[in-house]
């Protein structure tokens, strides 16, 4: 598969993740009487990854997330030369997804991008008022566990064909746990898309949603490299 096709797949997949996941939070989470709530948003994020894993997993590996790309690289399963191009494609896809979401949401009177656009935050911008430290630990640990699920379920020795289900359910679980803490990132691209348009505090706090997931992914990659070794 050519790199151009892989990058296009990553762009499309990350676009879908932000539009579907953040879109559920912005458009449907608190809809009068029939809102889907935190559980619905968590499921929406899981479904975006599950559906794209089946759709483009055979093309690009369906990373949709700079932390996943870094973690898979750390585990020795992704070429160094493709790490940065993957991340760039993912971030652009996330920004495009956030832009389309704004276009849709703007069709309703009273919508304001500054309200958050499902951006990630800590402190006063955490849904539950959780601190920077809580946000960092949550994002680090959840990304680490997410990568272990990804690496384990996609191992050649794992049951074939079930990885998308395990990965999608893992992301759903992660959101069920941490939406109140940070609005759940575990994905620097997902955080960057909305933050670009919200600006202000969202851009100011964006560093955490790059640093913590990337560190968690690196640890997971090296841990699984040892854990999954047959030696």
Of the pLDDT bands very low, low, confident and very high (cuts 50, 70, 90), residue 34 is low
Q: Parse the chain into domains and list their residue ranges.
A: 3-227
**Domain 3-227, second-level architecture:** Up-down Bundle (1.20)
The whole-model pTM stands at: 0.93
Of the pLDDT bands very low, low, confident and very high (cuts 50, 70, 90), residue 33 is low
pLDDT in tens, 59-85: 999 999 999 999 999 999 999 999 999
The token duo for 14 is 């990350």
pLDDT in tens, 145-177: 999 999 999 998 888 889 999 999 999 999 999
Distance between CA atoms of residues 24 and 215, nearest Å: 28
Kindly write down the DSSP assignment for every residue of 5-26, as one continuous string. HHHHHHHHHHHHHIIIIIHIII
pLDDT in tens, 209-225: 999 999 999 999 999 99
* Closest by CA position to 18, among listed 49, 40, 59, 54: 49
Of the pLDDT bands very low, low, confident and very high (cuts 50, 70, 90), residue 180 is very high
pLDDT in tens, 83-111: 999 999 999 999 999 999 999 988 887 78
Give residue 186's region: left, alpha or beta (phi > 0; psi -120 to 50).
left
């Amino acid at each position: 598969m050519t790199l151009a096709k892989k990058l296009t797949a990553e762009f499309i997949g990350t676009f879908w993740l932000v539009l579907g996941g953040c879109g559920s939070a912005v458009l449907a989470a608190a809809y009068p009487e029939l809102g889907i709530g935190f559980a619905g948003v968590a499921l929406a994020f899981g479904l975006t990854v599950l559906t794209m894993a089946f759709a483009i997993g055979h093309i690009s590996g369906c990373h949709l997330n700079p932390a996943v790309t870094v973690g898979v690289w750390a585990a020795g399963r992704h070429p160094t030369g493709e790490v940065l191009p993957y991340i760039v494609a993912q971030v652009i896809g996330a920004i495009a997804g956030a832009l389309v979401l704004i276009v849709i949401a703007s069709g309703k009177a009273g919508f304001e991008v500054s309200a958050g656009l499902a951006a990630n935050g800590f402190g006063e911008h955490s849904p539950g008022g959780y601190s920077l430290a809580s946000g960092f630990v949550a994002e680090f640990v959840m990304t680490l566990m997410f990568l272990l699920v990804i690496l384990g379920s996609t191992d050649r020795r794992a049951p074939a064909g079930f990885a998308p289900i395990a990965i999608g359910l893992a992301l759903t679980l992660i959101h069920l746990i941490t939406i109140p803490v940070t609005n759940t990132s575990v994905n620097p691209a997902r955080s960057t898309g909305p933050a670009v348009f919200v600006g202000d505090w969202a851009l100011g706090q964006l560093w955490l949603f790059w640093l913590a997931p990337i560190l968690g992914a690196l640890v997971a990659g090296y841990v699984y490299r040892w854990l999954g070794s047959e030696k």
